[in-house]
Amino acid sequence: MKAVLPALALIAATAFAQQRCDAMYPETYCNTTEILAFEGYDCKEFHVFISRGSDEPYPGRQGNITQQICSKLGKDKCSYENINYPAKSTAWGKEKWCESAAAGAANGQAQFKGYHEMCPDSKLILLGYSQGASVAQDILGGGGGQVFECEQDANPALDKSIGANVVAAVTFGAVARSKNQNFTIGAGKDFDGTRARTPEQMVALSAYSDRLRDYCHQGDPICAVGSTPVSVDNHLNYFEKHNAEVLTWVVNKARGKSEEVSDDNTSTSVTAKSAAGPTPTPSLVKPTTHSTDANEAAASAQVKTGAASRLTGVSGFAALVAAVLVIAL
């Protein structure tokens, strides 16, 4: 009987972990009432923009860390909005990822501009995961270029007058990223992503180096191409591994404090003006699936995207397992 207890405890712990909306294989995404309560467009002292991963429903798995950040900064002082874009994976067609990312960069900059014009004293925070991480870096430093089997349209860097109000930005497993940057956290630092950024894009992005953290794990086939051992899990477990330190870092940056963040190789204030909130940009395509960026991992591993295509009516957990099995073949 004693031997059975540790096994039961492990099963229970695993089941509990899977109930996290930001777990590697989530049964549910971060669209709970508790999280959605922070969505808003009125002027707040702090405002978070979320750029979700491929094929995630709004707000995606970053809703959990966003809720934690806003709770820490103050319920009445912080809100978030989603970057409105399709977030289409390569499973929808070889051109769809680039079309989606370009729309994300354009919409994201327009949303930043709209909110800043209405709330010029608000402090802005940007979060992005996978395709959304690439979009987030596009928003700040400009984007465009060949990714997977398509060419993403170019966009310029964010206007400096708006960028001055960005107090913190965190990206996780970015598709388009460059190696050896002083703002990268993790052993993926030594590797480029699926596409390296151009020198011009890096100059503009580096202007945020004191306010940007770019998480990239060793073995993540999306953000650290060529690193080994390759594991899709290394692209999916950022939030389980790093939420606590990200929370501390973002909150301290938002409050004007400094905080060191450990390099995990395995894995004061100005009150905003009161005004009526802007109308958010309509979503170009409403999300209808719970599959994740494992589709991009399949593409990076040179697996046909059709084999990891959208699984309508299947839970997120089952879809992920199916995609991982395809990659292993």
pTM of the model: 0.79
Q: Map out the domains of the chain as residue ranges.
A: 29-265+278-289
Banded model confidence at residue 294, pLDDT cuts 50, 70, 90: low
Distance CA 127, CA 277 (A): 21
Going by C-alpha positions, the residue among 235, 173, 184 that lies closest to residue 212 is: 184
**For residues 279 and 251, is the Cβ–Cβ distance under 8 A?**
no
**For residues 325 and 303, is the Cβ–Cβ distance under 8 A?**
no
Domain 29-265+278-289, architecture per CATH: 3-Layer(aba) Sandwich (3.40)
151 bridge partner residues? 146
Contacts of 313 (CB under 8 A, 6+ apart): none
Q: What is the dihedral angle through the alpha carbons of 286, 19, 53, 136, rounded to the nearest 10 degrees?
A: 120
Residue 140 has pLDDT above 60, yes or no: yes
Strands 123-129 and 46-51: parallel
Token pair for residue 139? 């928003």
Q: Between the CA of residue 213 and those of 20, 118, 137, 198, 278, what are the distances in Å?
A: 23, 27, 11, 19, 28
User: For residues 12 and 151, which has the higher predicted lDDT (pLDDT)?
Assistant: 151
Residue 295 has pLDDT above 80, yes or no: no
pLDDT in tens, 75-84: 999 999 999 9
pLDDT in tens, 277-287: 333 433 333 33
Residue 136 has pLDDT above 50, yes or no: yes
Range list of H helices, 74-176: 96-118, 131-141, 160-163
User: For residues 125 and 299, which has the higher predicted lDDT (pLDDT)?
Assistant: 125
170 bridge partner residues? 127, 213
Per-residue pLDDT at 272: 36
